[in-house]
Each structure stands twice: as C-alpha cells, then as structure tokens.
Amino acid sequence: MSEQPVAIVTGASRGIGRGIAIELARDHRVVATYRGRLDAAESLKAQTGCEIFRCDIASAEDRRALIGFTREKFGRLDLLVNNAGIAPRERRDVLEATEESFDELLRTNLEGPHFLTQLAANWMRERGSGRIVFVTSISAYTSSVNRAEYCISKAGLSMSAQVYADRLAPEGILVFEIRPGIIATDMIEKVRAKYEEKIAGGLLPQRRMGTPEDVARAVRAIAGGLLDYCAGQVLDVDGGFHLRSL
C-alpha cells in the first residue's frame, strides 16, 4: 500500500467541497463524493485525478458503501472532510416551514455526517490516528428566520463536532470544525446581490465575500498537521463576521 495519505471529501463536485478536493489532491489521494451532478464530478476527476463516488450522505447504505470503497481501494483513511450539505428547496418563514423540509435538511446536514463520522472514526481507531473536519456554517449560531431548518442542522452539526472531538482526541484522532461565512458558491446565487449589498454596507470587517479556496486553505492547515495540538478547534472562515464591535 502507498504511504500517500487518503482523504474523503463529501459533496465535492461543486462549491466549497470542490475547492477542498482540488487543494487536497496536491498531496492526498482523494475520494470525492457527489450526489446528482455526475458531469461536475467527472470534470473534477479530470482536473485532479480524484476518485469520484456517488453517495447520498443521508443514506446509511451509501455511507457504508463509501467507507467500503475507500477501504478496498486504498486500505487507509487519514482525513474525512464532512462538507456535503443542502439548503432548503424553498426559503419559508419559520411560521410556515414544513416538516418535510425539516426532515430532509436534518437527514442530510446532520444525521448523514454524524454517522459517516462514526464509521470513519472506528476505522481510524484501528491505526490510532486520523483527522476529521466538519464544515458547518456561521448559521450554526446566526438566526435566519426564513431557513430555520438549515440553521438548526448546522447548530446540531457543530455539537456533533464537539462530541467527536472530545471522544476521539485521547485515541489520537483530531476533530475540527470550520465555520464558513458568506462564500461565493451556487448555493447563495439567488441572494448574492443582497449579500453583496450588506457586505458593502459593513457586514464584514473584511469587505469581501469568501471563496471556496479560503475554506480549502483552512482544511490544508489541518491536513498538514499545523493544528495538531488544537483538538476541537473551531476555525471561523468568515471575513471577521464573528467579531462583535460597537
């Protein structure tokens, strides 16, 4: 078996996940998952040489298949990046939002990565080492009344990261949370103009929207071992949004 480290990046065909996969492919063998956009996944493979694997993170069967594929293909897992997530199909006021949307968001954004981490962590324990990254959001602590289910899913995922960090650090497996802010991806395209106006008005101390590459560089620091005495650390990749000032 090659000694080159192996990473799984979920939701890697587009947006933040794609940026992370491109960055990691420089020195990792990467398994990049996608759900619906085979064309985007294939273009990532052509660009980077990543292995691509179709996986609906909300499906227990798909999660097991992903780990099984990686184990059979590479025999090791050094880094899991829980990036896959979805926004509500329709933004609705919390007083009008549906249970169906709530269930869909929590299955994909919370239950999926939580239990994928369980599978990955138990495999990593066999070697006594590994790193796990949860990509959450500023929505983990910022209320948006027209997408409550998204905020709740990310708040839950933030706690999942803390629990796993606490449980796994004694076994040499380090868990981190990255909280992206307003990142220029297709997920925000419908509200991009509104965000740009708010940023110009002073919403962010750093007066620009973030990029997938900004998030990828934070993952790079973790993957490279630069934060190996920072178990459970939360990295705010948000242009200073988390700062409170008067």
Give yes or no: 150 in active site: yes
Q: Which of 151, 165, 158 is nearest to 136 (CA)?
A: 158
- Choose the catalytic residue: 34, 150, 164, 229: 150
Which residues are known catalytic residues?
Answer: 150
